[in-house]
Chain A
């Protein structure tokens, strides 16, 4: 187990390093040198001033030197300044991450809960199976941003029951969480239906029934835990997709999370913030995948 954790952490570190290098390279190719932008804003700056500023900030160094200087600063914890929000980057990342985790956590719990319930319904009541399958198909094909807009139109504009966006309490979470979880419950429902059907035919279920266990106990204590292991695999694979969905949802509902932070940073040409936010999101996603894999090994000790 320790070897797995250590090797995975090493993999995460290497992937993050490669990602940071590639992204840094690409950002250097972006339009909008920060000094050019400063010159555009202040016509009194001469070209000597521009050269002096470039030397001061190290922008005239070769690419590799700039990258290593930046990487060294990041590893020491100096994340730099955000031009767009006029704040240190470190002050922006924390609250955004918490907001995103709130949305993602709730959406994941609901997606798993509703998905597994629907799958169980399909497995245990075969007449409902085609309906559940159709719902899963629809949920998988539906673009999540379309669902978000439709929910806003119906619940916020037409009915006026819920706020259309923003942050500030549990009422602001309902529509974004609904949007995010609907798109992801298809995979859980389909796999839990299949896994539960297989689990219910296992011999130990028959033994439990023969020993007099009620149907409730049979399902919840014997069948579902065994069906739970493949669900963790799906959760691990789904982590990246969930974060991507959170970016769309946060942008539509104007929630101040990591996704919206990256989007705003890119649109505002603040690439330092975008790069750091991307790295944080990537590392958190990979850590979540690692956590799901560890939970899987804890649930089923037979997995190496």
Chain B
């Protein structure tokens, strides 16, 4: 877990410090400079330049901001929705439990990416967001990923909540006259902290990966806004001129997902208090 936390903290710091790095190095990551295409790594450009002469390291750091933001928002939304649905399903039981779990199973049985590809091609102007801006792209992708990500969280939360609700202290609280809402929020929810933390960590990794895939396919964050996925898509076209350009964004995605998985692993191994 410590390795995971270290990795993720390093990435978060790198992402947050992107404008500082831009100031330090003195380049603009959005400004093309066609005289400096495909430069080798040097003191001025630590990772070289890309096909339009923009500094690769800075684009990587700005891409970190985009990818990590989308991943975090999508994961938090998915976790909130999933926790609410899992809790309701476990608490109500019976008909609502069956309906919600049938919906979850249905979503789980479908192949996610073909659906996401079709949904991602939706015109954001339909829901009132401006087309072509990075922010609307980010919101659109976060909503899509949350719409698929809640299922795993919901099943995990429902399983744990069922076992917690059957315990004696809940019965005691109800017998003492505690209202159902208080029972759920003050007694059941704290016990769900561990599964929710694990599910969130895994959801962040999954969301970052999914956003990269969508951007790679051209359906996520559109250039010139940098995202690790669309940097990889560029690199695919340049395998002859700049083979190393494919290494860095992929390595960044790998470290993010690895950090999230290690974190989730570590949390799941901690002894339950």
User: Which A residues are closer than 8 A to B by beta carbons?
Assistant: 11, 15, 18-19, 23, 26-27, 29-31, 137-138, 140-143, 145-146, 149-150, 152-153, 157-158, 164, 237, 239-241, 243-245, 247-248, 251-252, 258-259, 262-263, 266-267, 271, 274-275, 277-278, 281-282, 285-286, 289
CB of B15 within 8 A of chain A?
Answer: no
Q: CB distance A149 to B232 under 8 Å? A: yes
Query: Are B246 and A153 neighbours in the complex by a CB distance under 8 Å?
Result: yes
Contact A146-B254, Cβ < 8 Å, known A157-B239, A157-B243? yes
What are 21 inter-chain pairs, A to B, with CB distance below 8 A? A11-B106, A29-B123, A30-B121, A31-B123, A137-B262, A141-B205, A141-B254, A143-B250, A143-B253, A145-B213, A149-B236, A149-B250, A152-B236, A152-B239, A243-B111, A244-B112, A247-B114, A282-B110, A282-B114, A282-B115, A285-B111
Known contacts A157-B243, A240-B110; A143/B123 CB under 8 A: no
**Chain B residue with the shortest CB-CB distance to A11:** B106
Interface residue B35 (Cβ < 8 Å from any Cβ of A): no
Q: Name the one of B109, B113, B235 contacting A244, with C-beta atoms under 8 angstroms.
A: B113
B85-119 to A contact mask, C-beta < 8 Å, 1/0: 00000000000000000000010111111110111
Q: Is the CB of B218 within 8 A of A278?
A: no
Inside 8 A of A237's CB, which chain B residues have their CB? 108
Residue of B nearest to A145 (CB): B216
Residue of B nearest to A142 (CB): B254
Residue ranges of B at the interface with A (Cβ–Cβ < 8 Å): 106, 108-115, 117-119, 121-123, 125-126, 205, 209, 212-213, 216-219, 232, 235-236, 239-240, 243, 246-247, 249-250, 253-254, 257-258, 261-262
Known: A145-B212, A150-B246, A248-B113. 12 other contacts (CB 8 A): A15-B106, A15-B109, A140-B257, A149-B246, A150-B247, A153-B239, A153-B246, A157-B239, A247-B117, A262-B118, A271-B118, A281-B111
Closest to A12 in B: B109
Main secondary structure of the interface of A (DSSP, over half): helix
Given A153-B243, A157-B243, A274-B118, residue A285 in contact with residue B250 (CB < 8 A): no
> In the complex, which of the residues A27, A153, A289 has the most CB atoms of chain B within 10 Å of its own CB atom?
A153
* Distance between Cα atoms of A247 and B205 in the complex (Å): 20
Who on chain B is nearest to A144 by CB? B213
Residues of chain A within 8 A of B258, CB atoms compared:
137-138, 141
CA distance in complex: A104, B209 (Å): 21
B239: shortest Cβ distance to chain A, in Å? 5
Q: How many A-B residue pairs have CB under 8 A?
A: 129
| Known contacts A29-B126, A30-B122, A143-B253; is-contact A266 B117 (Cβ 8 Å) | yes
**Whose C-beta in chain A lies nearest to the C-beta of B127?**
A29
- Tell whether, in the assembled complex, residue A278 and residue B114 are in contact, meaning their CB atoms are under 8 Å apart: yes
**A301 CB → nearest B CB, Å:** 24
Of the candidates A15, A157, A245, A289, the one whose C-beta lies within 8 Å of that of B240 is A157
Q: Are B111 and A137 in contact (CB under 8 A)?
A: no
Given A140-B261, A141-B257, A149-B246: A243 touches B114 (CB 8 Å cut-off): yes
Q: How far is the CB of A30 from chain B (nearest CB, A)?
A: 6
Please measure, in the bound complex, the distance between the C-alpha atom of A266 and the C-alpha atom of B213, giving whole angstroms: 15
B contact residues around A29 at 8 Å (CB): 122-123, 126
**Out of B121, B125, B212, B216, which one reaches A266, CB within 8 Å?**
B121
Quick one: which of A149, A240, A245 contacts B239, CB cutoff 8 A? A149
* Inter-subunit contact A26/B111 (CB<8 Å): no
Q: Known: A15-B110, A149-B246, A244-B113. Is A143-B212 also a contact (CB below 8 A)?
A: yes
